[in-house]
Amino acid sequence: MIQAIGDSKQVDVGNCENAQTSRLIIKNLPSKITSDRLKQIFIGHGLVTDCQLKFNSSGKFRNFAFIGFRTVDEAQNARQYFNNTYLDSSKIQVEFCRKLEHNQQAKKKIKENVEKAPSNKDCLQLIFENLPRNVKKKTLKNFIAPVKPLKIEVKIDDNESITTAIVKVTKKSDVKVLEKLDGKFFGGQKINVKTCENLMATDDNNPSTISYSKDVTNIKEQTDLISETGRLFVRNIPYVCTLDDVRKAFENFGPLADLKMPLDPSTKKHKGYAMVSFVLPENALKAFAEMDGTVFNGRMLHVVP
């Protein structure tokens, strides 16, 4: 049960006034809160695009969560209503999530979060997205059984807003088995499974490929690659977003040569990522610098060459 403190729910936004985003962090949550319950509590104040409880490596709840809304106004209203109120017997704090500093984030992400591209000839690598924060390799290994992976790498982004795993296998038949896990629930979350064919998707009428920057090790190499291609790969796009939403966001940096958001044939919804190509590479560089790590409709965007 939510209880207000005092007679007013007015919030002194203070220094957050210029840092308002559509994503909130809720601190000091009760230990027994669930993602579904938290979402239901906040859903009355807008369209919730994301709800993630955070756990440590041993699976213990860290008593905070991220909530994403479609608009900044919805997030602001929710913050004003819930900040310094009680959820059960816990006094919660609700704050805006701020954009990560791009230079610091990029240096870490280039080393930790940019997946190496597999070869087109032999695609035996899959990416599992939207995994639970506390996922362990052993648990994931049991989930994908009877497939026996060659290697599993779990990656967590700098803001702890997305957990992915790279699963490498030895047989093409294993790839087909794992592809069927796309859209299944694991640890209470609906996961996405992509093969290199998905990530290097082409349009029959206008072929294009996505570079995952196989050998990128520093920011200069990434920017050099963008300068050559004028192309960006945008991940973690909210499923409520449309092609026009993404187009409007990136057209602010310059005219687009191409924009693709692959659809899932079974759901008719996009897969949560887009390929954005600019007419001028310098506009792509600007978009990369400004959009990577920003909150977009409640989720933290991840932008790579």
pTM: 0.52
In this prediction, residue 18 has a pLDDT band, given cuts at 50, 70 and 90, of very low
* Segment 221-249 mean pLDDT: 89
Write out pLDDT tens, residues 100-128.
554 455 444 433 443 443 444 445 788 88
My answer on whether 55 and 91 are in the same domain is: yes
Domain at 49, CATH number: 3.30.70.330
| Domain that includes residue 41, residue range | 2-96
My answer on whether 194 and 73 are in the same domain is: no
In this prediction, residue 5 has a pLDDT band, given cuts at 50, 70 and 90, of very low
My answer on whether 288 and 195 are in the same domain is: no
Give the count of domains, the chain: 3
My answer on whether 138 and 232 are in the same domain is: no
Select from 176, 199, 222 the last residue of a domain.
199
Select from 199, 217, 244 the last residue of a domain.
199
DSSP the chain: -EE-STT------GGGGGG--SEEEEES--TT--HHHHHHHHGGGS-EEEEEEEE-TTS-EEEEEEEEESSHHHHHHHHHHHTTEEETTEEEEEEEPPPPPHHHHHHHHHHHT-PPPPPSS---EEEEES--TT--HHHHHHHTTT---SEEEEEE-TTS--EEEEEE-S-HHHHHHHHTTTT-EETTEE-EEEEHHHHT--BTTB-------TT--SHHHHHHHHHHH-EEEEE---TT--HHHHHHHHHTTS-EEEEE-PBPTTT-SB-SEEEEEESSHHHHHHHHHHHTT-EETTEE-EEE-
Select from 168, 199, 230 the last residue of a domain.
199
